[in-house]
Structure 1
Amino acid sequence: MTVRLLSLALTVLILAGCGAESTEQSGGHEHADGITLSTTEWSEETELFFERPQMVASHKSAPWAIHVTRLDGHQPLTEGRLTLRFRRPDGAAYVHELDAPSEPGIFTPQPTIPEAGTFRLFMIVEGTRLQDTVEIGNLTVYESASATPSPEAGSAEISYLKEQQWETEFGVARARERSVQQSIEASGTIEPVPGQYAKISAPVSGLTPAEANLDMPAPGDGIRKGETLAVLSPSGGEGSYADVKGRVERLKREVRRAKRLVKAEAIPEKQLVEARHELELAQAALKSMGEASETTTSQMSNTSGGDSDFNYQLRSPIGGQVHERHLAPGSRVEVGEVLYTIVDPSRVRVHVRVPAEHAADLQHVSEGMFTVEGSEVLHRASRIVSSGAVIDTDTRTLPVRLEASNPDGRLKIGMMANARLLLENSEAGVTIPNAAIQMEDGEPVAYVQTGGESFERRPLQLGPTNGKHTLVKRGVQAGEHVVTAGAYQVYLASLGSSETAGHGHTH
């Protein structure tokens, strides 16, 4: 590894367009060579946290410890190159290159700068699917060791080492300025859309002839409207389906006979009127048992052998999917017994219960979204169907119903749902991901990464949330990095827990 002076033109081309954020602290870890300085830089792709000694002109530096973390997944760079460029005020630069990390995620250069002065330091990281140039800032090289300044006292911060971060699920995100749409949070359940859910009961008591019911639909089968679900052979007895069916046929014959006799003036017309009235009553009774028309009777006559004129075809009133079936070929059923449940799951309703204090805001709801138990997938409601007019005095909530498409059937009837109703109003300010907000002793807090291995606990004053980001009125500034994964480990580190106690670097 060598240090060389490059021409101004080449350096300007390479360094164009670089930019990042900077955090530098005096103090840090004390090595045999003296006190080191700690610096942390973030770009959109990487985090560079490094500890370095003071630089003295023409002296080989003690080892630096440069920790390179990929922000996508927050994992160490295990292979790749790192280039340090020390740019002079005239644009020329001294360059120090390393072909690989000395251990996963850690580069340990020992550059030598032959002259004193202030240099602009850039670090270029090259790895698999990674090419990143990060501007670190000014670095001073002193004439002699006696000219180096004394370190300032470090601040009291939470220490959580890079080696610990890399070994656990860890992540950070930058606080950003954005507008947040105000919202209402409510819980509820997935319900069927009226007209797309049917429980089909036995209109008559009887048997399900085995031969005629071998192909009856099973749970999961698709069903068309009007399709036969089962064939029933009704039981006899007064008032039974067979009894009413026979009465209708008999009264039809009597009406036809009365017509002929009235025409021949053999009986008074009053008897024909009475016969027709009796037929209408019998037909109404038959229709209440599910008989649709005379064509149904003719269709049924060939469904099973023997005396099939009085067999009954149970048909689906809607198209959809068989959810439940409560009968088998050859079984007996009783009138009113639920035999099938049919559901069309292409659309569903979400019945949520909104807290009473938000009742006045419901008139400003513009959109609804929700998640269901066991999944983090966010579903959007196609429309807001209705909101109640009466608050439940027991739960102090108001019912609201949303409707959503469900083409893949992922949403199941009866699932629990967590919904968020977005209002028309919005508010701008500093926001952080909801994952960064922790509740401690009933109060919201966030852990802010002030350096690669240093953190601060910040109490928060929160504003509205859209379910993904929340506006922070006090506690975090724009551009700061908040912990979104691994906050509990940082919390343990703040307590000095033996589970996360720092052990110092071994590089």
Structure 2
Amino acid sequence: MLVLASLFVAGCHGHPHEGDEHPHEGDDHPGGGHGHGDGVAIGITQWSDDGLELFAEHPPAVVGQEVPFLAHVTVLEDFSALEDARVRLTLTGPDELAADAPMLRSGIYRPAVTPRVPGTYQGTLTILEGGEGSVGPFEVEVYANQEAADAAHPGGEDEGGAVSFLKEQQWRVPFATEFAAQGRVRPSVEVSGELTTPPGGVAHVHSPVAGRVMAASTGFPIPGQTVEAGAVLATIAPTPGAPEDAARAGLAVVEAEARVEASRVEADRAERMVADQAIPERRLEEARRQLRVAQASLTAARRARSLYSSAQSGRGGGSWRITAAIAGVVDAVEVSPGEAVDANELLFRIVDPDTLWVRAEIPESWAGGFVRDANASFQLVGSERWYPVELEGAEAPSSLVHASRTVDPESRTVRVVYALGRPDEALRVGAAVRVLVPVGGAVDAVTVPRSAVLDVEGRSVVYVQAEGESFEERVVRVGPSQGERMAIISGIEPGERIVTRGAHLVRLAGSSGSVGHGHVH
């Protein structure tokens, strides 16, 4: 029997173990080999809210006899073995029993108790060291004598072809289970799409003029660098319109220097004459103004010569400032400092990573059933992960940007655009995606992850965990799917524990003949 986390799964196995190849070499098994004399074993399987799974086996408990519990403890966060811990088994009922045990081997612990009083006990396994949490309560029946135990557990039950997939195998491969749950799934249609950005989400920065690229005072941008809107990325030293322009710029400097020298001499002469009261004060002001004009001309001439010199040599600064049009991350740098570029040549690409759009193309035949306010999902090509597009709820992070009112005359599709509020860092602008867009009304059904359902020769199959190491192949009828969840119309009940990762490995174990071999290790 399998129930939710507060309960337990128990079973008896009465199969002899001749030829049993369970890989538990070296275990300290009571009774020798892999059994307890008559081979009857009682199994306990339970999951706790502390993120632990317990699979334990023990012989029928009899007063006055030591009862070893071979406990396999799994950490559900990653379905790995609980390593290097110390556990305590507590039985509460007609008597109080407790036993501590260190790790026998990876994930396996062997506490043992000797009951003194028969009756029904409630057991709990608690981690004392090397971890946290507990699993329980689970029921343990203690019998007054061996005859009562044999009568209650005669052995020889047929497990009906259950597939054995051992804990040591589960811990070493990608594996996971979860409870099937009642949920709501809305029918969806899978269509092609693309990740894109809003119109202001990408900025392509081009050179406004032909010239040579120069680094800004803050340095030259590199891919991955975060920049603010308006930040100076580089400067451009314009290329001379003709080769003789540079020579004329040099000549202009010489002429401007001569004018400055002449104006300075004239200003000095005017100062002396004003001191001698030979000319009016107005003549001195005019001389000084001429000097200032000549100095300004010299500054402009030198700057023009510097620009031509920078463009020719690849060093120095430029007169055209290249700035970031948006805040974001530098995604591409197409030039290097000192490189000559043409007008309108691409220099940098900046992307705003805070907002991504998902663009989907819905076939015309499905567009009429499109549900605007229902959740959608998408999957990168080549990936198994489905990313949610959450629209439902007051604080939904995503939103519907646009559902086109027209049909594309060539593709016969209707474009739908979603905005993702919290884009994953793994998502890239321009990536091709498959989009599940909602169409039609929601269906209430048992839901499981898509990964739990195998297609086996045209049948949909799910593996149900009957006990810790025992699985049942179940043929199911599937319904609509939404993102990573799929509706199961029949074949699975809510609360059954199903394999969600590694189901194909369980199938391989069944194909290899590891079927129905109950045992105590």
Same fold per superposition (TM over 0.5): yes
Question: Secondary structure, in 3 states, of the residue corresponding to 2:374?
Answer: strand
Partner Cα separation in structure 2 for residue 484 and residue 353 of structure 1 = 31
| Contact 1:223–1:322, Cα closer than 8 Å, also in 2 | no
Question: 2:21 matched to 1:50?
Answer: no
Q: Report the counterpart of residue 450 of structure 2 in structure 1.
A: 434
Which stretches in structure 1 are left out of the alignment for 5+ residues?
1-17, 238-300
Question: 2:138 matched to 1:135?
Answer: yes
Partner Cα separation in structure 2 for residue 52 and residue 163 of structure 1 = 18
CA deviations 1:19-42 (Å, max 9, x no partner) are: 413332442454351031332332
TM-score, normalised to structure 1, is 0.66
Question: Secondary structure, in 3 states, of the residue corresponding to 1:362?
Answer: coil
Q: Report the counterpart of residue 3 of structure 1 in structure 2.
A: none
Query: CA shift at 1:410, angstroms?
Result: 6.3
Partner Cα separation in structure 1 for residue 402 and residue 488 of structure 2 = 32
Partner Cα separation in structure 1 for residue 222 and residue 325 of structure 2 = 16
Comparing 227-236 with 356-365, greater Cα deviation is found at: 227-236
Counterparts of 1:375-390 in structure 2, within 5 Å, are 378=387, 380=389, 382-389=398-405
TM-score, normalised to structure 2, is 0.65
Question: Secondary structure, in 3 states, of the residue corresponding to 1:305?
Answer: helix
1:450 aligned to which of 466, 470, 484: 466
Residues 106/211 of structure 1: CA separation in 2 closer, same or farther (3 Å cut): closer
Partner Cα separation in structure 1 for residue 302 and residue 376 of structure 2 = 50
| Contact 1:223–1:316, Cα closer than 8 Å, also in 2 | no
| Contact 1:121–1:138, Cα closer than 8 Å, also in 2 | yes
Question: 2:503 matched to 1:487?
Answer: yes
Partner Cα separation in structure 2 for residue 217 and residue 171 of structure 1 = 45
Residues 50/202 of structure 1: CA separation in 2 closer, same or farther (3 Å cut): closer
Counterparts of 1:278-297 in structure 2, within 5 Å, are none
Partner Cα separation in structure 2 for residue 85 and residue 214 of structure 1 = 71
Partner Cα separation in structure 1 for residue 184 and residue 47 of structure 2 = 23
Question: 2:208 matched to 1:208?
Answer: no
Cα RMSD of the aligned pairs, angstroms, is 4.4
CA deviations 1:76-120 (Å, max 9, x no partner) are: 445333435363xxxx335353444544423253634555xxx32
| Contact 2:452–2:499, Cα closer than 8 Å, also in 1 | yes
Query: CA shift at 1:70, angstroms?
Result: 3.9
CA deviations 1:194-246 (Å, max 9, x no partner) are: 14434355565x43386999967565462534968543536648xxxxxxxxx
Which stretches in structure 2 are left out of the alignment for 5+ residues?
18-34, 243-299, 309-317, 390-396
Partner Cα separation in structure 1 for residue 388 and residue 184 of structure 2 = 21
Partner Cα separation in structure 2 for residue 368 and residue 353 of structure 1 = 13
Partner Cα separation in structure 1 for residue 61 and residue 218 of structure 2 = 89
Question: 2:366 matched to 1:361?
Answer: no
2:325 aligned to which of 298, 315, 318: 318
Residues 479/506 of structure 1: CA separation in 2 closer, same or farther (3 Å cut): closer
Partner Cα separation in structure 2 for residue 36 and residue 506 of structure 1 = 8
CA deviations 1:414-433 (Å, max 9, x no partner) are: 23445444568433232223
Partner Cα separation in structure 2 for residue 378 and residue 302 of structure 1 = 61
Question: Secondary structure, in 3 states, of the residue corresponding to 1:153?
Answer: coil
Residues 36/199 of structure 1: CA separation in 2 closer, same or farther (3 Å cut): same
Query: CA shift at 1:478, angstroms?
Result: 1.3
Question: Secondary structure, in 3 states, of the residue corresponding to 1:361?
Answer: coil
Question: 2:163 matched to 1:155?
Answer: no
Counterparts of 1:97-496 in structure 2, within 5 Å, are 97-100=99-102, 102-103=104-105, 104-107=107-110, 109=112, 111-113=114-116, 119-127=119-127, 128-136=131-139, 140-142=143-145, 144=147, 147=151, 150-151=154-155, 152-201=157-206, 206-208=210-212, 219=223, 220=225, 222=227, 224-225=229-230, 229-231=234-236, 233=238, 236=241, 304-306=303-305, 313=320, 316=323, 318-320=325-327, 321-328=329-336, 331-370=339-378, 378=387, 380=389, 382-389=398-405, 397-405=413-421, 411-421=427-437, 425-496=441-512
| Contact 2:214–2:237, Cα closer than 8 Å, also in 1 | no
CA deviations 1:21-79 (Å, max 9, x no partner) are: 333244245435103133233232443433333455x5525655343434343344453
Greater relative contact order structure (CA < 8 Å, 6+ sep): 2
Question: 2:5 matched to 1:21?
Answer: no
Residues 419/137 of structure 1: CA separation in 2 closer, same or farther (3 Å cut): farther
| Contact 1:213–1:230, Cα closer than 8 Å, also in 2 | no
